């Protein structure tokens, strides 16, 4: 197998040369601990603060509102648990989220439920978008937090974040968004969009793995998640991943600077894939047709099993997925697809193609050349497909 086409960028992206080159000096020369007072330590500290400023500028935030973490999951945990454990002291024990959040959010609120918190899980409907009116109706005087993801990691649907933020601000409820899939792909202004906390992770926009950030609006009080030293203004202990932080800032600035041109390219590739794959009988697009990430295609093919589809695509040099990489070991159908109303047998036959600016239209053409015959072959071996065809007759 010579040709490799990587279309699983929602799982992770490659580290850009720009980010890698920015990181290398902090492994080789400027390797000092940022808490040290000698020069190479202070050089590292300055690099962290410069990165904090860069990331803040990309989000419309202030530098002192950016806190570095190890990943998006840690950021989600800190935001949700930090607010919940702080506001329970004031009698606020209710959290609102959606049914198709990333497991970093779902498992966190479920852990809080076991502690005695009440959680409302909003429907996301067939188009994968919550209804702001239903959110507002769910808010009570006990509501401490609303946590709704910006863009879904599987089906790519984009939520009405500004309107959600307006409702939360109106009812004096804090609003957190897991924006791991959105940051670097969608223009974000935390003030304009009324966001109180926002999670991001570098490896989703050509930065390194193992580093993320949490935006926390000034004045929002969070309990610490990690105890220890006085790093991150005594709010998040642990020696900073200086090289990772620098690489994250470089990657995000590049992503934000080139966003408009990149989006045009991705939408053209995405739409060509969608239009042609939907020509396959008994296929359906999952999520809203246009209110979705520019590089996201999620399609279900009735009568086949997703894992077999992925293995046959891999044999053709195509790296794709059937859902979140974080649940790839599970045999259960995607909770996201079940949340938008797909039956188990169709949810099992889903395919996610997530594009980046490193992909090309030639690669799209190759996918469209090899994928339909694979679907046809798998269906020819499927008893389920025979039942579907018989039922249609």
Catalytic residue selected from 71, 168, 256, 326: 326
* Cβ–Cβ under 8 Å, residues 131 and 141: no
**What's the rounded Cα separation, in Å, for the pair 25 and 289?**
44
Q: Can you point out the beta strands (E) in 72-123? A: 94-98, 118-122
**What's the rounded Cα separation, in Å, for the pair 159 and 171?**
19
**What's the rounded Cα separation, in Å, for the pair 235 and 353?**
38
* Cβ–Cβ under 8 Å, residues 109 and 119: yes
* Cβ–Cβ under 8 Å, residues 258 and 357: yes
**Longest C-alpha distance within the chain, in Å?**
79
Q: Which residues pair with residue 285 across a beta bridge?
A: 299
71 is catalytic: no
Q: Which residues pair with residue 62 across a beta bridge?
A: none
* Cβ–Cβ under 8 Å, residues 343 and 337: no
Phi and psi at residue 222, in whole multiples of 5°? Answer: -125, 140
Other CB atoms within 10 A of residue 200 CB: 32
* Cβ–Cβ under 8 Å, residues 143 and 94: yes
Other CB atoms within 10 A of residue 256 CB: 20
Query: 3-class DSSP state for residue 138?
Result: helix
Cα distance between the two ends of the chain: 40
**What's the rounded Cα separation, in Å, for the pair 377 and 388?**
15
**What's the rounded Cα separation, in Å, for the pair 252 and 256?**
6
CA R_g for the chain: 22
Decide the pairing of beta strands 118-122 and 94-98: parallel
Instruction: Kindly list the catalytic residues.
Output: 326
């Amino acid at each position: 197998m010579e040709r490799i086409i990587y279309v699983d960028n929602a799982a992770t992206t490659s580290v850009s040369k720009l980010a890698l080159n920015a990181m290398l000096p902090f492994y080789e020369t400027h390797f000092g601990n940022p808490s040290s007072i000698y020069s190479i330590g202070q050089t590292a500290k300055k690099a962290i603060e410069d990165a904090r400023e860069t990331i803040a500028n990309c989000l419309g935030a202030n530098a002192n509102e950016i806190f570095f973490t190890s990943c998006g999951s840690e950021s989600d945990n800190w935001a949700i648990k930090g607010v919940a454990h702080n506001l329970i002291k004031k009698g606020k024990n209710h959290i609102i989220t959606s049914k198709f959040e990333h497991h970093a959010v779902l498992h966190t609120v479920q852990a809080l439920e076991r502690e005695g918190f009440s959680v409302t899980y909003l429907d996301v409907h067939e188009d994968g978008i919550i209804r702001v009116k239903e959110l507002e109706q769910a808010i009570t005087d006990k509501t401490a937090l609303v946590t709704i993801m910006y863009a879904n990691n599987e089906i790519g649907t984009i939520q009405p974040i500004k309107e959600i933020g307006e409702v939360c601000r109106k009812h004096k409820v804090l609003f957190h968004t897991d924006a791991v899939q959105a940051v670097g792909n969608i223009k974000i202004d935390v003030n304009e969009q009324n966001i109180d906390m926002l999670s991001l992770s570098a490896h989703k926009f050509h930065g390194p793995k193992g580093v993320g950030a949490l935006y926390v609006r000034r004045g929002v009080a969070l309990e610490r998640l990690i105890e220890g030293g006085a790093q991150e203004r005594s709010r998040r202990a642990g020696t900073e991943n200086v090289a990772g932080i620098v690489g994250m800032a470089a990657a995000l600035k590049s992503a934000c600077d080139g966003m408009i041109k990149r989006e045009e390219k991705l939408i053209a590739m995405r739409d060509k894939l969608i239009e042609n794959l939907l020509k396959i009988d008994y296929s359906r697009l999952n999520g809203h047709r246009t209110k979705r990430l520019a590089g996201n295609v999620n399609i279900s093919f009735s009568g086949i099993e997703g894992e077999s589809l992925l293995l046959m695509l891999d044999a053709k040099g195509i790296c794709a997925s059937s859902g979140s990489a974080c649940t790839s070991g599970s045999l259960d159908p995607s909770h996201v697809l079940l949340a938008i109303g797909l039956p188990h047998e169709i949810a099992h036959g889903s395919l996610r193609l997530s594009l980046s600016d490193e992909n090309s239209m030639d690669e799209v053409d190759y996918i469209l050349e090899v994928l339909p015959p694979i679907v046809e072959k798998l269906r020819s071996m499927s008893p389920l497909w025979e039942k579907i065809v018989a039922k249609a007759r």
